[in-house]
Amino acid sequence: MNKIVLSLVVAGVLAVSANAFNLGKYGEMKFEKANQNVYIMHGPPVNPSVENQGFMNNPAIIESKHGLIMIDPGGNYNVGQKILAEVEKVSKKPIIAIIDTHKHGDHWFAGKSMAEKYPDVKIYALQKMIDVSKAGEAQKWYDILERLSKNLKGTKEFRFPDIAIKNGDVLNIDGETFYIHSPVRAHTDTDVLIVHAQSKTLFLGDNLMKSRLGGFDESSSIIGNIKLLEEIKSAPELNLYVPGHGPSGKRDEAIDPFLHYMKTVVAGAKEAYSEDLEAYEIKPKVASQLKEYHNWDEFSPQLGKHLQKALLEIEQLED
């Protein structure tokens, strides 16, 4: 091969890799066909960091006849630009709608990138998600994500959802049907779960996680989250279950690990309550019952907080 051809090949290879969404040790992020016309980019299931650029959720796109419907576009404007470039490798159709599963910014801040390119995009969320985000939750998450990832500076103008949806709604978007379920209180009090009817895919937002443990904030209920997952398990089985963080899968392989984790935490908290122990006193015993979770991201710090939260919920039930 002569030198000129060789240098063109090298330049070509470099151009391709420069065009990829590369996250260092986490590899290349791309959308993969998950189920019929559903494509998912599974982010690394770890805490936001400089290395992952604050990208760690699972943006999804559903291809309709004339456009794309997106669920949870991603964690900030800058990764949103990269996610958008990856969307275009799947389809050049416009993004016509976005559904945000809940108030936490690591799921929805990137919608600003999509809305900049497609100003007519309709962004859906629960009314309460819109209200609390505008009332300070978005700013709180901006500060958390900027501190951890250093990748949000100068992007503070939020693109809030503008169409309120509620429990029981059926959305028909360009021929695709979405059933909306909103539990009163589970991962937060602003959650929507979304069934894409045609592909029988359930998007659970952070009511399901795998390989990573996240926070249960003051608006959440661990007991409510358990009840929700048990209801889902007793409903007719769908084809695919998509967590907010971690790999998607069939019903039991996707749901059982997180459900078992939460049930073990609540059982530990009940024991602490009946024996008048503090959460930290029961933690070593509960940790020993959860050996298969020790390699989940944030296991030890989150277990302590989750036990405290579960204990609080049990105390409130008993009062």
Shortest distance, CB of residue 245 to Zn ion, whole angstroms? 8
Give the residue ranges of DSSP H helices in 19-132. Answer: 77-90, 105-108, 111-117, 127-132
For residue 164, the one-letter residue type is A
| Strand residues in 197-242 grouped as ranges (E) | 201-203, 240-242
Site string for Zn ion, 251-290 (x = CB under 5 A): ----------------------------------------
* Radius of gyration of the CA atoms of the chain, in A: 20
Bridge partners of residue 28, in order along the sequence: 22
* Given 42, 82, 104, 112, the residue binding Zn ion (CB under 5 A): 104
Shortest distance, CB of residue 174 to Zn ion, whole angstroms? 28
Q: Which is nearer to Zn ion, 206 or 313 (CB)?
A: 206
* Given 53, 206, 261, 287, the residue binding Zn ion (CB under 5 A): 206
First-to-last C-alpha distance (Å) of the chain: 80
Tell me the window of 17-25, 97-105, 145-153, 163-171 that interacts with Zn ion (CB under 5 A).
97-105
Say how far apart CA 57 and CA 205 lie, in whole Å: 9
Shortest distance, CB of residue 52 to Zn ion, whole angstroms? 16
What the block records as the tokens of 159 is 């693109």
Collapsed DSSP state (helix, strand, coil) of residue 114: helix
Q: Which is nearer to Zn ion, 198 or 211 (CB)?
A: 211
Tell me the window of 28-36, 163-171, 175-183, 201-209 that interacts with Zn ion (CB under 5 A).
201-209
Give the residue ranges of DSSP H helices in 167-218. Answer: none
Tell me the window of 13-21, 104-112, 136-144, 281-289 that interacts with Zn ion (CB under 5 A).
104-112
Q: Which residues form the interface with Zn ion (CB under 5 A)? A: 104, 206
